[in-house]
Every structure is written in C-alpha cells, then in structure tokens.
Amino acid sequence: MRNRPNPPLEHMGKAEMMQKIRACQFVLRDLALYLDTHPHDQNALRHFLMHRDEWQMYADAYAERFGVLRMEQVEESPGWTAWSSTPFPWEKEAN
C-alpha cells in the first residue's frame, strides 16, 4: 500500500528528506545482515518492518517532489525524466 505523505512531510526540504531516506535505508541494511544470522529474532524483525514502512513513506514523498530513487517508482506524469534527469549520486550536488 502506498502511504500518502502527511502535512509535515510536505514542508520538509529535499536534503532533509534524503537524509531520512538514507537513515532508514542504513537501518534496514544493517538489520538485514543481523537477521541473516539471527532469522528468528522477532524484535529485530519488528524494527526492520517499522523502518521499512518509514522508508516507503519518505521514498514515495521524495519521488513526488524531487525525482524517483528506483525506476519502478516512475509514473506517467512527469514521466521518465523523474528517473533520468536527476543527478547521479556521485555528483556533489546530489549529496
């Protein structure tokens, strides 16, 4: 299910939102490695799911305003440029 951005999200700046996305993604990646060796740790799994939902919310809100992070997020409008016209992450201005 696609989460709608709530009002405070809409007032968040691009850099601030990207920082949130990276933070969520970091928690997810780190927990994933832990869960690989502790697959039955329900507490770790709960944290994973919580941050997965948070990541989804920020990634969707970011996509609507600043461009998509994954090509699967492209919509008919504004189209492919939401993926292709944003700077690649190795450029200073993308960070």
Partner 1 sequence: MFQYEKTLQYPVKIARPNARLAKMIITQLGGPNGEAGAAMRYLNQRYTMPLRELQGLLTDIGTEELSHMEMIAAIVYQLTKGLTPEQLEAQGFASYFVDHTTGIYPIAASGVPFSAETFQSTGDVLADLHEDLAAEQKARLTYDNILRLADDPDVRDAIRFLREREIVHYQRFGEGLRLIQEKLAQTTHPHNPYACNPSFDQSCLRRRNR
Give the binding site for partner 1 (CB under 8 A): 18, 21-22, 25-26, 29-30, 32-34, 36-39, 67-72, 83, 86, 88-90, 92, 94-95
> Minimum distance from CB of 22 to partner 1 (Å)?
6
- Cβ contact 35:48 at 8 Å: yes
> Minimum distance from CB of 8 to partner 1 (Å)?
22
Distance of CA 34 to CAs 23, 26, 55, 84, Å?
Answer: 17, 12, 19, 34
Nearer to partner 1, 7 or 16 (CB): 16
Nearest residue to 55 (alpha-carbon basis) of 80, 84, 83, 32: 32
Nearer to partner 1, 7 or 39 (CB): 39
> Minimum distance from CB of 12 to partner 1 (Å)?
16
- Cβ contact 90:37 at 8 Å: no
